[in-house]
């Protein structure tokens, strides 16, 4: 089972969106940046989905600073393909940022890709 933490401006909406998908193999919890960084570092969580208005700065700022850019990727306001997400997960990315107006598209895509890896 993969544990996903959410953070940023739309953290509750991301959690609600992913929970509503009913995907087996993932657990999702609302968090904040500092707690998420600690949980990811300690192995108590596997992934972080952060949101802000642009998806490029505040969605991941603290996590990039504490975990390093190698663990992080921002989609900004773009919508990735399934292949994009699969490749990023295969590279070891665990922390993702995206814009609030992309939650309905990006959050389900991320959740499904993470669940597929957890099998």
Q: Judge whether 72 and 93 are in contact, CB under 8 Å.
A: yes
pLDDT at residue 54 in the model? 83
pLDDT for 30 beyond 90: yes
- CA of 39: how far to CAs of 34, 64, 67, 100, 113, in Å? 9, 14, 11, 23, 21
Complete DSSP assignment for 28-82: EEE--HHHHHHHHHHTS-SEEEEEESSSSSTTTHHHHHHH-GGGEEEEET----H
- Nearby residues of 79 by Cβ (< 8 Å), 6 or more positions away: 102, 105, 106, 109
Mean pLDDT on 53-61: 78
pLDDT at residue 3 in the model? 98
| Mean pLDDT over the full length of the chain | 94
77 or 55: whose pLDDT is higher? 77
pLDDT for 4 beyond 90: yes
How does residue 56 score in pLDDT terms, banded at 50, 70 and 90? confident
pLDDT at residue 28 in the model? 97
């Amino acid at each position: 089972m993969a544990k996903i933490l959410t953070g940023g401006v739309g953290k509750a909406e991301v959690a609600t969106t992913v929970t509503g998908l009913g995907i087996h193999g993932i657990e999702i919890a609302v968090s904040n940046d500092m707690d998420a960084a600690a949980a990811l570092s300690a192995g108590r969580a596997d992934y972080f989905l952060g949101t802000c208005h642009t998806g490029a700065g505040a969605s991941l700022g603290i996590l990039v600073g504490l975990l390093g850019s190698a663990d992080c990727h921002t989609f900004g306001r773009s919508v990735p393909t399934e292949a994009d997400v699969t490749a990023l997960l295969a590279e070891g990315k665990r922390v993702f940022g995206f814009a609030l107006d992309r939650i309905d598209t990006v959050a389900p895509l991320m959740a499904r890709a993470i669940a597929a890896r957890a099998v």
